[in-house]
Structure 1
Amino acid sequence: MRVLGLMSGTSHDGIDSAVVDWSASGDVLTGVVEHTGVTPYDPGLRAAVAAALPPNRTDMEEVCRLDTLIGRAFAAAAARCPAADLVCSHGQTLFHWVEDGRTRGTLQLGQAAWIAERLGVPVVSDLRARDVSAGGQGAPLVAAFDLLLLAGLPGRTGALNLGGIANLTVRGSGGSALAYDTGPASALMDAAVLAATGRPYDEDGRLAAAGKVCEPLLAELLAEPYYRRPAPKSTGRELFHLGYLDRFAAPYGLGPADLLATLAALTAETAGAQIRRHRLDTVVVSGGGTRNPVVMGMLRERAGTARLVPSDGLGVPSDAKEAVAFSFLGWLTAHGLPATVPGCTGAAGARVLGAVTPGRGPLRLPEPARRAPARLRLVPRAPGA
């Protein structure tokens, strides 16, 4: 079954896509990664998304407009991909409602009907809401994917994704599991670069490489109470936004280079501290943050004895990891299998995730799977295939 995964994360810079052809044999699910790509948001749409994100305020007219425009953008991105039997669309998170450490609601925009109408195939969407309704954090949902991907690796293993927010999945001994957001990855760095230069991100970490870490500011940022909260926990731009950063950084009057170096150290220290805490032997790393050599160099220094391995080595392109993961979540939903990992999100139990929007014809889904896969095998498409 070919499933197209679509994802736009907290960086809200574009739509990641991955078409994976899934086939089950025994307890192993094999995915042939046939396509990965990214479709940048139109600058006007990206600006509209940014204007609606916290701490900004918006109204219901704008929410309706964004739901439609993001849905159309996702449909256009999907139409550029190879044909699939099913689409699983994450949409764009506009708000993640967290109070006193508990997630009370979550909102992803990008109306799935636009995708279903354009492609004519069923679309799984709104996956996070079901986990939240069962008492979970709604994040990180990729834990179900990570745990199976890590299953064949020896020792204590983890998967770290460095998107706008960094999330860590830990596979412990005896099948125990834990997953949570460790803090900002590129969210604060991107906001600082955009405000200072107008560019969307620090390409190749050049600004950060030219700067020096401001240790007093770093210490203030590390005092954020979120880092001390127990898992399961999740966060986003509701907390880590430009206004939050300015509140701490403004008194120091740092130039862009020193500020970026300090924020790179914040990402590396908050993620590295959790890697050390769990005494991980191997960490599979993915996400746009892996392209920032300053962040990765600082992370290696702070990761203790853990070996950092790019997810590409396991058949998962680093830039498309979450799109591949949502393709997997769509496959699970289509086969009637739960994707919530209660120990990771805090949900009351395993749940089948998402709502299904039919395509143009009658809704036909596969027969429910008799058992869930115990291991994943990801392989790239053979050349010329």
Structure 2
Amino acid sequence: MKIVGLMSGTSYDGVDVVAAEFTLDGETLALRPLGHHSLDYDDGLRAQIAALLPPAGTTIEAVCRLDNRLGEVFAEAAAVGVELAGGAADAVVSPGQTVFHWVEQGRACGTLQLGAPARVAERVRVPVLSDLRSADVAAGGQGAPLVPVFDALLLDAAVGPRAALNLGGIANLTVVAPGVPVLGYDVGPANALLDAAARRLLGRPCDLDGARAAAGRVHLGLLDLLLAEPYYAAPPPKSTGKELFHAGYLDDRLAALAEPVAPDDVLATLTELTARTVAAECDRHRVTEVIAAGGGVRNPTLLGRLAALGAGRWRLRVTDELGIPAQAKEAYAFALLGWLSWHGLPGAVPSVTGARRAAVLGSWTPAGPPHDRTPATPPRRLVVAV
């Protein structure tokens, strides 16, 4: 079965697209990567998304316009994915762009992803799976993270405690260990605050290669304020996003200081924040190896600091060593979720999300399985039976 997977994360800089072929042999599912590609959002679309995200206010009109604009972009990405699959695919997984994740007192109450899946289905003419988080939220879960099901199948827990780390807008961690349930949760900001600082202080979408952070020095006063965030001390299951870690959040911490902080020092401090919070969780679970993916692995300053903090306790690797390109890992994970949903299998892990049960994820557009219920002859009229 060939599945196209799409992914647009909390950094909202573009969409990653992959194609994968899945073959089941007994209890082993083989994933053959068929290729990956990235489509960057233009400045106008990024501005549309930023204008709608918390803490900004918005209108229903703006939501509708963005939903359909994103649908057009995802449709283009899906078409690229079908080409990667050799010109034909069985399904597309288009999880959409998260614009709000509603969490109150540690409980997820709702979640909203935009991306007009009907536009994707119209373009590629195969079933499209979307809205992957809502079923888990309805079952009492956080609706995130969803990648741990991929990590749990890929990493061999028998080897010893190991962690899979994703460094996207948010840093999330999956921990597998012998004889215990899979654990996974959002640790805190990775690129979310770094990119917000780069936009605010440098007028750039990001600190390319972490160069400005490498030139700066950690400001201990700012770091202490950032580390005082209550989210870090909250026990899992937990999830977060830009409804908490946004530009205004950073502005408030900077305003609380008695003196201004140089831009390079702000970036160095935010890099240290991510490295310390991630390393603390890896130490807490006593992992021996951390396998990283996501856009953050392209930041050598961040990756180098993580490696230094883990030296002598855990080894840092990237998923490329396992055959999965680090930038494309989440898109491949969503392709796997599509395979599971197609076969009526749950995609969320209750020990990760806190749900009451393991839910089959997503909604199919225009029509997904089971195909065997399609009538041989479609109805041509309707009668009312009394």
SS in 2 for 1:308: strand
Task: Please name the residue that 1:378 is paired with.
Answer: none
- SS state of the match for residue 136, structure 1? coil
Q: Which residue does the alignment assign to 1:106? A: 111
Amino acid at match of 2:280: A
What do the CA deviations read for 1:138-178 (whole angstroms, capped 9, x no partner)? Answer: 10011111111112661111100000000000112214211
The counterpart of 1:146, out of the listed 151, 154, 159, is 151
Question: Post-superposition shift, 1:333?
Answer: 0.4
In structure 1, the partner of 2:64 is 64
Contact 2:157/2:178 (8 A) holds in 1: no
Residues 189-229 of structure 1: CA deviation (Å, up to 9, x unaligned): 00000112221111111000000000111011001000000
Task: Write the distance in 1 (CA, Å) between the matches of 2:4 and 2:158.
Answer: 27
Note the C-alpha offset of 1:41: 1.0
Task: Tell me which moved more, 195-204 or 183-192.
Answer: 195-204
Kept in 1: contact 2:157–2:176 (CA 8 A):
no
Q: Which residue of 1 aligns with 2:16?
A: 16
Structure-2 residue corresponding to 1:93: 98
Output the amino acid matched with 2:110: G
**Aligned equivalent of 2:3:** 3
**Deviation of the 1:268 alpha carbon:** 0.3
Letter in 2 for 1:131: D
One-letter identity of the residue aligned with 1:256: P
Distance 1:319 1:278 in 2: 25
Q: Which amino acid aligns with 1:35?
A: G
DSSP 3-state at the match of 2:345: coil
- Give distance in 1, aligned partners of 2:40 and 2:266: 26
Matched, 1:223 2:228: yes
2:123 aligned with 1:118: yes
1:313 to 321, 334, 349: 321
TM-score of the two chains, using structure 2 as the length reference: 0.92
CA distance in 1 between counterparts of 2:109 and 2:16 reads 27
Name the CA distance, whole Å, in 2 between partners of 1:330 and 1:151. Answer: 22
- CA deviations on 1:276-335 (whole Å, 9 max, x unpaired) are 000001111101111111111111222351111111111111000100000000010011
- 2:31 alignment partner in structure 1: 31
Q: 1:153 to 1:282 in 2, by over 3 A?
A: farther
Residue of 256, 260, 272 corresponding to 1:265: 272
Q: Which residue is equivalent to 1:326?
A: 334
Question: Residue 148 of structure 1 aligns to which amino acid in structure 2?
Answer: L
Q: How do residues 316-355 of structure 1 correspond to structure 2 at under 5 angstroms?
A: 316-355=324-363
For 1:39-50, list aligned pairs within 5 A: 39-50=39-50
Equivalent AA in structure 2 for residue 232 of structure 1: P
- Flag structure 1 segments of 5+ consecutive residues without an equivalent: 368-385
Residue aligning to 1:277: 284
Of 290-299 and 108-117, deviating more is 290-299
Please state how far the C-alpha of 1:365 moved relative to its aligned partner. Answer: 4.9
How far apart in 1 are the matches of 2:100 and 2:197?
21
| Bigger-Rg structure (1/2) | 2
Partner in structure 2 of residue 73 of structure 1:
73
Contact 1:334–1:366, Cα closer than 8 Å, also in 2: no
Q: Cα RMSD over matched residues?
A: 1.3
Secondary structure at the aligned position of 2:159 is classed as coil
The answer to whether the 8 A contact 2:18-2:331 is kept is: yes
Q: Which runs of 4+ in 1 moved over 3 A?
A: 363-367
Contact 2:174 2:185 in 1 (8 A): yes
Corresponding residue of 2:378 = none
Contact 2:158 2:177 in 1 (8 A): no
What letter matches 1:116 in structure 2?
Answer: A
Q: Which sections of structure 2, spanning at least 5 residues, go unmatched?
A: 373-386
Counterpart Cα distance in 1 of 2:67 and 2:317: 37
CA distance in 1, matches of 2:156, 2:113: 30
Residue 42 of structure 1 and its aligned partner are, at CA, apart by 2.1
Aligned counterparts of 2:166 and 2:73: Cα–Cα separation in 1: 24
Q: Which residue of 2 aligns with 1:212?
A: 217
Separation in structure 2 between the aligned mates of residue 188 and residue 308 of structure 1, nearest angstrom: 23
* Structure 1 position 356 matched with structure 2 position 364: yes
Instruction: Between the two structures, name the one with larger relative contact order (CA 8 Å, sep ≥ 6).
Output: 1
The Cα of 1:104 is off from its aligned counterpart by 0.4
CA distance in 1, matches of 2:329, 2:208: 20
